[in-house]
Structure 1
């Protein structure tokens, strides 16, 4: 198998305590940058909601956020396996900061319009898509295997804390500052993410001699095909990915229409939206804490089934909550949020431990594409169906169908072998 690989880690670059410590420094910078992005994301969503008062505009904005992931992710995974991952992250961060600067200038000098705003949203998503496989792949190249599970749990823990703080800070800042002034937070926190990347070294993959390397577009597609071949050799895992894709379709109405539901349906303010999002993030925080404290789960697939079932029970509680009953809505979102970190940590850790390092960039990018393949459809349908049946009925139908779908998948397929068995190589 090794002789067929175009790239592999050098023996001297096997994860050590030194590379682990370097990764922690890089990781802290990324967490600070995530805080800025969380504040800005909330601010931009609220700006679209209050400016347009339209579920269709909100859905279209979310659609533009997902579209680049679907189109570009497989190719970005090949880039992550072929080129310097550190440079990919740095350049994409710089470009993302540049488009944020354009938004600030547009709002400051009054030349911002919806078309330009949506174009910039799409560009931000493009640059995030470019760097995502590289960020995911460098973890196992710098972190020893025996620390992966604990680190992933801590990562979700801190990310959840940031996700709670972001909307809360944004709601507070909106009372004192304009939209464009708040966007400067993104640029400030970006600097904290950039500095470690400039001064610390991320292990590089060792290339074959140039005479043995394939050139051109065929090389890209052959590498993408190799990633798909690896996944297709593991049918239960493919069923799990199919399940994730379908469930993404049913989650989209909740993710897309929550600001609209608060502001338009309930005549709420940014404070109520921050409360609901805060409840979701507190659930994420607790789930992350559980992932951090629990080193290893014995039966990962049964755990996944239980958590998916619990997740849609939470969404059902949100869906059936009477208008204005924010405490009950918050409890549903808390339950749903609790499940995400444990699910993600369990699945990602299993993949990082089983998939060869030289395949991880393209595999993670394929997973992003597959799991998000139906998301744009779900986003567009969210706005369309909301106009036909209203938010509450749409939410009730989405959560109910998803709940039943999870039960059927676990009763009538072999998905139970997805995470607890060995990962076969083609």
Structure 2
């Protein structure tokens, strides 16, 4: 696993993605803290985060399409735009122009999916096919590390009141990522190879036929339900469950969150060691198993058992995360991967805020435990039904 980082092209991809993710993680803490300090209005924090999320969800398919058409241009535009935005934001905050900040965040959010999409479509070009699972595992680990380090770095700058310097460094992360991605794109000469391949593109490679000829559409739908019913519900119900049902101690919540992150890292390492090809069976089993663990969390009462479940909750989620991307990389034609990954991004991301909104309402209606049990049960049923229908369709095709 570590040996892969010695591969120069993969290291460039890893570094570009990590630095960009680090910038995102830094930005979130900076924005939340400084906007609240300036306005003293929690609603403005919500608006700021929505300005980052909604344009990203809506425009990701367009970004993916543009990457498929001209990867170099959209790389320039995406990272330069975000760098410029974070150079301007401290000026707007200084003058109290909160609505200008919201507009700038919308611009940044519009291009935020580019890093994820670029990383996913460049990865198969820098590693061998049998290394994709390990490579995706490493990218997931760096993402979690960025989420840990970003807030820590931002916290240091904020504690010393170096707010402007923090935003400038944040902007610089996007410029560094731009240089790393462009260096890799130029080396791989992707533009030329795509021009050659597009001459041979037929109707066989249309998105409609790709959805018909593969199981990608059901993969996108299942991932959307997964984010809606688990990852979108979890941030709301777990703190309430801990406080009201497990232990009225914030340390337990802190431990749960830490063990969840640790579980994802452990799971990523374990998956990277697997010498298997990605398959829908692994993905579906992981999602169903994740739903089962969430269900058990909903009925648990013992603190130690609850914390062990947090670790398992992280570990068991990883195969679905990694194999989903690897499955697309292995089964979708190169010239369509940008669009497919953008749809994957939109489907997955859209479920999260909807889940957050719905879970708050559902908890008030039926209580926290029944909310967990209901959401996990629905997920298990939906994915299991998807598996049954897919097998049924395969049997019909074979019998014809």
Which of the five TM-score ranges fits, normalised by the shorter chain?
A: 0.7 to 0.9
Task: Report what 1:296 is aligned to.
Answer: 276
Tell me the secondary structure at the aligned position of residue 25 of structure 2.
Answer: helix
Query: 2: distance between equivalents of 1:178 and 1:327?
Result: 41
Task: Report what 2:89 is aligned to.
Answer: 103
The correspondence for 2:179, drawn from 184, 195, 213, is 195
Query: 1: distance between equivalents of 2:89 and 2:238?
Result: 21
Shift in alpha-carbon separation, 1:136–1:279, aligned structure 2, 3 A: same
Structure 1 stretch 242-251 or stretch 181-190: which is displaced more?
181-190
The correspondence for 1:281, drawn from 239, 245, 261, is 261
Please report how far the alpha carbon of residue 175 of structure 1 lies from its aligned counterpart in structure 2 after TM superposition: 3.6
Task: Report what 2:217 is aligned to.
Answer: 238
Query: 2: distance between equivalents of 1:66 and 1:398?
Result: 25
User: Is 2:160 the counterpart of 1:183?
Assistant: no
Give the paired residue count.
380
Query: 2: distance between equivalents of 1:126 and 1:382?
Result: 26
Where is the helix percentage greater, Structure 1 or Structure 2?
2
Shift in alpha-carbon separation, 1:256–1:407, aligned structure 2, 3 A: closer
Please report how far the alpha carbon of residue 327 of structure 1 lies from its aligned counterpart in structure 2 after TM superposition: 8.4
Unaligned runs of 5+ in 1: 1-16, 215-221
Structure 1 stretch 149-158 or stretch 308-317: which is displaced more?
308-317
Structure 1 stretch 359-368 or stretch 129-138: which is displaced more?
129-138
Query: 2: distance between equivalents of 1:62 and 1:326?
Result: 33
TM-score by length of 1: 0.71
Higher relative contact order (Cα pairs below 8 Å, separated by 6+ residues)? 1
Conserved 8 A contact 1:60-1:380: no
Structure 1 stretch 303-312 or stretch 239-248: which is displaced more?
303-312
Shift in alpha-carbon separation, 1:152–1:258, aligned structure 2, 3 A: same
The correspondence for 1:349, drawn from 304, 322, 326, is 326
Conserved 8 A contact 1:242-1:370: yes
Task: Report what 2:20 is aligned to.
Answer: 33
TM-score by length of 2: 0.75
Query: 2: distance between equivalents of 1:402 and 1:104?
Result: 41
Conserved 8 A contact 1:59-1:256: no
User: Is 2:376 the counterpart of 1:389?
Assistant: no
Shift in alpha-carbon separation, 1:33–1:71, aligned structure 2, 3 A: closer
Tell me the secondary structure at the aligned position of residue 111 of structure 1.
Answer: coil
Conserved 8 A contact 1:76-1:130: yes
User: Is 2:60 the counterpart of 1:73?
Assistant: yes
Task: Report what 1:122 is aligned to.
Answer: 106
Task: Report what 1:64 is aligned to.
Answer: 51
Unaligned runs of 5+ in 2: none
Conserved 8 A contact 2:83-2:175: no
Query: 2: distance between equivalents of 1:305 and 1:44?
Result: 37
Q: CA RMSD in A?
A: 4.5
Conserved 8 A contact 1:74-1:366: yes
